[in-house]
Structure 1
């Protein structure tokens, strides 16, 4: 017991000296700035991209060859953008100029996390000088549907008041980190008949395809694939009356790249 008292007698003064000589720990001060003075995490600035989703050579069961393109370019921010879209085809060895399926300039507004509403002007027809092209206004819903289907749905009204529509959907099925299988669906039709442009009322064309793409880099990916298309309804009747086929099957070799 006396030993315990001696330890207490020695320990208490030592503990007191230790406490008194410890450096003072200051209480944290609240020097945070009000929210309105917070710096911007990143300055908003416009950017852009040029994407050739398809630049391909195709050969059909009719022994016809052609080169086709599907290009999209945009510039702007997260909510507002300016788009340039172009699709077309040049049949080889037929002596005719390229056929411009569409060339459109559109303003775009993000209306939900995955969808943009677009509106603008477009033209379609032969690229020959002085050719009589179809000019139109276009309204498009462009974006990604559930399960990551990329879609471009458009409604077009030309100078004569003829109304046509198109639907495009594709899906990237990842096979490896650098290879994809891409099914693709295209449907086109019209709400009014336009004989000058060989476009009857109704659903006129269905096209299904699949492509295997291999990325040599993120910006450059060659691919190969197959497609099948069929004319429908009155459009098919017109083609049969002219002695033409209503179906077409082909193989494609191409490249997808962006800048």
Structure 2
């Protein structure tokens, strides 16, 4: 009985030793697997690089297009004609729209003027221009009503073409009417001239008139604005008339026929209403003796005037 118990105890002890050895080995293996990296290579998985190549090539194409697009210029095709890029066409259309609009401006002026002898005259002017920056139509009407005389006036219709910066060439006709004459009350002249801005901002009109009876004359008008304030402005001006030839019934003497130098001072209530005062000194050579008029001598005199100008 004692031997059986010893055998049982030895058997139980051996079983416990075996079980404890297996558990210790399992825990040691688990600890080693957690602390040490795996040394065996992972299984290789095939990767398709075609999509990566396409994605990496796409930005290069976009970059090249961005670099080429701004430098597109006119090129010649096989047909021998020059073709412009869309950018150039858009730029040309923009310039056409910028300078192609039609605008209109009308100036109306009325002035009462007296000379040293106390003789007065009412002078009125109307100027209308309509068109684009390159092509315009000018209508100019000038009327003089001296005391104890009927109103004489002239009207000009001019086509104006821009030929350079600040300069237009003008051509047209002038109609004159003087009811104080007994004959040749109506006259028609051809007009050719320049309109523009001379150096130092002198607005200038220069015209040559050619009419019947060998009437050829030249007129120059120039003026410049000088701002004292934003509303108070002085304007020196010069008006010269030259007669190159005249065989009419009311002929004028050839050469420098008249000169008027003046200074206008205006106050701009706004850009549409502008009253002004005018002081000028003038020279007039006179007229020739014909069957319809007596000869007159040269005269020098001062002129004083006041008026109002409208712009719309």
> In structure 1, what is the equivalent of residue 114 of structure 2?
59
Structure 2 length-normalised TM:
0.65
Rounded Cα–Cα distance in structure 2 between residues aligned with 1:127 and 1:152: 27
Q: Does 1:73 align with 2:96?
A: no
User: Which structure is richer in relative contact order (CA contacts within 8 A, separation 6 or more)?
Assistant: 1
> In structure 2, what is the equivalent of residue 218 of structure 1?
271
Q: 1:108 to 1:243 in 2, by over 3 A?
A: closer
- 3-state SS of 2:270 partner: coil
Instruction: Give the total of aligned pairs.
Output: 226
Match 1:157 to one of 204, 210, 215: 210
Q: Structure 1 residue 179: deviation in Å?
A: 1.3
Q: 1:127 to 1:73 in 2, by over 3 A?
A: farther
Query: Higher helix proportion, which one?
Result: 2
> In structure 1, what is the equivalent of residue 106 of structure 2?
50
Q: Which runs of 5+ in 1 are unaligned?
A: 1-25
- Pairing 1:1-259 to 2, within 5 Å after superposition: 30=66, 34-35=86-87, 36-37=89-90, 40=94, 42=97, 44-52=100-108, 54-92=109-147, 94=148, 96-100=149-153, 102-126=154-178, 132-232=185-285, 235=286, 246-259=299-312
Query: Higher strand proportion, which one?
Result: 1
Decide which structure has the larger Cα Rg and report it: 2
Rounded Cα–Cα distance in structure 1 between residues aligned with 2:250 and 2:229: 43
Q: Which runs of 5+ in 2 are unaligned?
A: 1-58, 71-84
Rounded Cα–Cα distance in structure 1 between residues aligned with 2:90 and 2:283: 62
- 3-state SS of 2:249 partner: helix
Rounded Cα–Cα distance in structure 1 between residues aligned with 2:105 and 2:304: 28
Q: Structure 1 residue 63: deviation in Å?
A: 1.3
Structure 1 stretch 154-163 or stretch 112-121: which is displaced more? 154-163
Structure 1 length-normalised TM:
0.78
Q: Structure 1 residue 245: deviation in Å?
A: 6.5
